[in-house]
Amino acid sequence: MSMPSEVKMKVEDLSAFYASVRAVEGINLEIPDRRVTAIIGPSGCGKSTLIRCLNRMHETTPKARVEGRVLLDGDDLYELDATLVRRRVGMVFQKPNPFATMSIYNNVSAPLRFNGRPSRQEMDQTVVRSLKHAALWDEVKDRVDSAATSLSGGQQQRLCIARALAGDPEVLLMDEPCSALDPIATSKIEELIGQLKNDYTVVIVTHNMQQAARVSDFTAFLYLGKLIEFGPTGDLFERPKEHLTESYITGRFG
Query: Quick one: how far is CA 54 from the chain centroid?
Result: 9
Q: Among 152, 141, 136, 138, which residue's Cα sits nearest to residue 195?
A: 136
Position 86 contacts another protein (CB under 8 A): yes
39/54 with CB nearer another protein = 54
Select the span of 12-20, 41-49, 81-89, 239-247 touching another protein (CB under 8 A).
81-89
28/61 with CB nearer another protein = 61
Query: Quick one: how far is CA 42 from the chain centroid?
Result: 18
Q: How far is the CB of 217 from another protein (least distance, A)?
A: 16
Q: Among 165, 154, 196, which residue's Cα sits nearest to residue 35?
A: 196
CB neighbours of 104 closer than 8 A, spacing ≥ 6? 131, 140, 143, 144, 145, 146, 147, 148, 151, 159
Position 62 contacts another protein (CB under 8 A): yes
Position 98 contacts another protein (CB under 8 A): yes
Interface with another protein (CB under 8 A), residue total 48
Please list every residue from 204 through 233 that binds another protein, using CB under 8 A: none
Position 75 contacts another protein (CB under 8 A): no
Among 73, 75, 122, 242, binds another protein (CB under 8 A): 122
Q: How far is the CB of 223 from another protein (least distance, A)?
A: 26
Position 111 contacts another protein (CB under 8 A): yes
Among 76, 81, 145, 182, binds another protein (CB under 8 A): 81
- What are the φ and ψ backbone dihedral angles of 41, each rounded to 5 degrees? 160, 165
Look at the alpha carbons of 3, 9, 10, 14 in this order and tell me if their dihedral is positive or negative. negative
Please list every residue from 10 through 39 that binds another protein, using CB under 8 A: none
Number of H helices, E strands in the chain: 11, 10
Please list every residue from 147 through 186 that binds another protein, using CB under 8 A: 147-150, 160, 163-165, 167-168
Q: How far is the CB of 93 from another protein (least distance, A)?
A: 7
The edge-to-edge listing of strands for the beta sheet with 21-32 is 21-32, 7-18, 64-72, 75-76
| Whole-number Å distance between alpha carbons of 78 and 65 | 12
Considering only the C-alpha atoms of the chain, give the largest distance between any 2 of them, rounded to a whole number of Å.
Answer: 56
| Whole-number Å distance between alpha carbons of 62 and 54 | 17
164/205 with CB nearer another protein = 164
User: How many other CB atoms are there within 10 angstroms of residue 7's CB atom?
Assistant: 16
Tell me which residues touch another protein (CB under 8 A).
55, 57, 60, 62, 81, 83-88, 90-91, 93, 95, 97-101, 110-112, 114-118, 122, 125-126, 129-130, 132-133, 147-150, 160, 163-165, 167-168, 195, 198-199
